[in-house]
Amino acid sequence: MLEATLCFPLRGGETTADEPGDRREVLLIEKRRGLGEGWYNGPGGKLEDGETPRECAVRETREEVGLQIDPDDLEKAGELTFLLDGAVHTFCHVYRTAAFAGEPIATEEARPEWFALEDVPYDRMWEDDRLWLPGVLCGRTVRGEFEFSGGKPLDEAAFVDHDLEWDVAVHD
């Protein structure tokens, strides 16, 4: 089983009487290699030896788009289990943060792009994202299980079933 992370940096959000509503933006990456290549997702990746999930989310966000994040500023938002043909493929820790330093830059791994929350390109993301990411972006916590079938790699398997629990306690 792989352990991995996803991180969703958020910016903006000042509302006025004239323009109420959630006007925040989320930083997504268009992945240039690896699992989910060509799709949008948050920055993230697999844990390295000896690394905590929080450290991994900070490192991957720095390596993929050049943003600096203090690990204490990450807010844990979810725990997702991705199963492939009945076996756990990846356990993924999901974080969000409104605190970071720097401007996103494109790297070999990723092209960053800010999206208004109502314009998140779910048709160009993993099929499961539309089920859990909207809640995560508006501050909720989630625990989810997502089943894929049809053999490796996971991004070519069919998404067949899911189970979600909202507003759960998630640690670290």
Ligand X SMILES: Nc1[nH]c(=O)nc2c1ncn2[C@H]1C[C@H](O)[C@@H](COP(=O)(O)OP(=O)(O)OP(=O)(O)O)O1
Q: Which residues form the interface with ligand X (CB under 6 A)?
A: 4-6, 34-36, 41, 44-46, 82, 90, 92, 126, 128-129, 146, 154
Residue 82 CB, nearest distance to ligand X (Å)?
5
Which C-beta is closer to ligand X: that of 10 or that of 154?
A: 154
Which C-beta is closer to ligand X: that of 15 or that of 152?
A: 152
> Widest CA span of the chain, in angstroms?
52
Q: Which pairing describes strands 44-46 and 158-166: parallel, antiparallel, or unpaired? A: unpaired
Which C-beta is closer to ligand X: that of 15 or that of 119?
A: 119
Residue 171 CB, nearest distance to ligand X (Å)?
19
Which C-beta is closer to ligand X: that of 77 or that of 154?
A: 154
Residue 146 CB, nearest distance to ligand X (Å)?
6
Residue nearest to ligand X (CB): 45
Q: What is the CA radius of gyration of the chain?
A: 16
Residue 17 CB, nearest distance to ligand X (Å)?
36
Residue 155 CB, nearest distance to ligand X (Å)?
7
Which C-beta is closer to ligand X: that of 9 or that of 44?
A: 44
